[in-house]
Structures are given as structure tokens and as C-alpha cells.
Amino acid sequence: MAEPLLEARGLGKNYGSVVALRDVSTVVNPGQVTCVLGDNGAGKSTLIKVLAGAHQHDAGELLFQGSPVRFASPREALEHGIATVYQDLAVVPLMSVWRNFFLGAEPLRRIGPLRIIDRGLAIDTTRRALADMGIHLRDVEQPVGTLSGGERQCLAIARAVHFGAKVLILDEPTAALGVKQAGVVLRYVAQARDRGLGVVLISHNPHHAHLVGDRFLVLKRGRSLGCHEKDEITLAELTRQMAGGAELDELAHELRGRGIG
């Protein structure tokens, strides 16, 4: 196994007296998908923010390619090759697909003393980059707002891959999608993995995670319930851990005692 791209060792994060993360550890290897699962309030968002450089950890250690790091900003994390795709996708709905693909990094050409966007190069590059990921849109000049939710997620994934991401963090990419569109997004998650990226998939859906995941970190109230390789945990057990198996058993016992169920 190659050296981990990203490794968390006993990460902790407090907001005042509130413990958001405590002693959380996992690794992100090249060519693998590490899934982070948990219910609302489990600590998934806090972990994303630490990995993406939006917040700094208070305890433990974060390593990038074997070296300790403490990112001062998301830009610094991005410069290391850690790209994060949040649920809002950071797209401008009224702008074209190609403009969103290059947003903030447009190719330029000179006309005399002026430098203007090289529109032709940007359009061709966008088409090729999307095609390389198996994404075929009707027209890259159409507004992003006309795309489906799944197509927007795939555009964001292709953009991160094109700009050289080594680690791709996806924040609940299938949360607001139907079954068919979720399947499309998961296919492109697998493609990013197969290209050698280390993927961090944040989800509250164990079925989606188990389809593409190689490793599963389950969080509850900021603490780890365990980090398992795929051959160590079944979908049923993963679902049980996420749902709070012991608490459900206790509830079932209580309801049976009342003659319910």
C-alpha cells in the first residue's frame, strides 16, 4: 500500500465548551474511497472543515503525504491538492458550464496590451475534461442552472480532477438526488478513485457509501465508533452502527414491554 495522502491521528476540535470532534483517526489512500458516516450532529461537517483548511484542529495531528500540516485556509489546502466539493457546489447558476468550470482560473490570451479570456480554449478544454470523465453534456455554453443536480455534482468532480486534485472531499453529494441521479454521481466518484485520487465521501446513506467505499469511519457526537475496511464490515452492520444499534435494541425492548411491536 502506498503512503497515505492524508491521515488524521486523534483529531480533536472544540468550539468553546462544545466538543465537536474528539480522538478521530482515519487515513485517505490514493485510489481509495474513505467514507465518513453519521447522523446530523455527528461531527462530519467539522471534520470536513479541518481537512479542507476552513478550521484548524485543537488536538491530534493531520498529516499530508507523511508530513504534519495545519492549513491556515482552504486555499492553502487546495494548493496541497485537497479539493472540497460542498453541497452548494460553489457554482453560478446563470453562468455557462465552461465559465463555471474555470471560475477564477480562466485561460487568458493577449491582444496587444490587453489580456482577455481565451474563450475557445476554455470551451474546448471543458469539453475534453468532461469527456475524459465520461460526462457528455448537450452544450457547455448552457447555463449551469439548467443542469440536473447530478450533472452539477459531476461537473464539480470533473473540475477538481482537471485542476490536479490529489484528495477529493465530497460533502453529501447524493443527499438531494433521486435514485438514478445518485447512481450517476457514485459512478463518477468511482472514476475519480480509479484515476488514483484519494476520495473522502461524506454521507448519511450507508447504502451509497458501501457501494463505492473502501474504508468507513462512523462518527457519533464527535467521536469515532470505529474505522473499518470494507472486508471487515457488512452493509447491515454499517447501517446498524449508524442508526445506533444498541439504542434501537433498547427502544425495541421498551416498546415490547409496553405491548407495542
Q: Per residue in 170-228, pLDDT tens?
A: 998 888 788 888 888 898 899 899 989 999 999 988 999 999 999 999 999 899 988 99
Q: Determine the Cα–Cα distance for residues 254 and 260; give it in Å rounded to an integer.
A: 9
Residue 90's nearest CA partner among 74, 79, 76 is: 74
Domain count, the chain: 1
Answer yes or no: is 223 within a domain: yes
Domain of 208, in residue numbers: 6-94+164-231
In a domain, 249, yes or no: no
Q: What is the pLDDT of residues 139-172, one digit of tens each?
A: 899 998 888 888 888 888 888 888 889 999 999 8
* 77 within a domain of the structure (yes/no): yes
pLDDT score recorded for residue 252: 57
Residue 78 lies in a domain: yes
- The verdict on residue 214 lying in a domain is yes
CATH label of the domain that carries residue 62? 3.40.50.300
Is residue 101 included in any domain, yes or no? no
Band of the pLDDT at 135, cuts 50, 70, 90? confident
pLDDT tens per residue, range 69-117: 999 999 999 999 999 988 766 678 899 999 999 987 888 888 888 888 8
Q: Has residue 142 been placed in a domain?
A: no
Is residue 254 in a domain? no
- Number of Cβ atoms within 10 Å of the Cβ of 39: 14
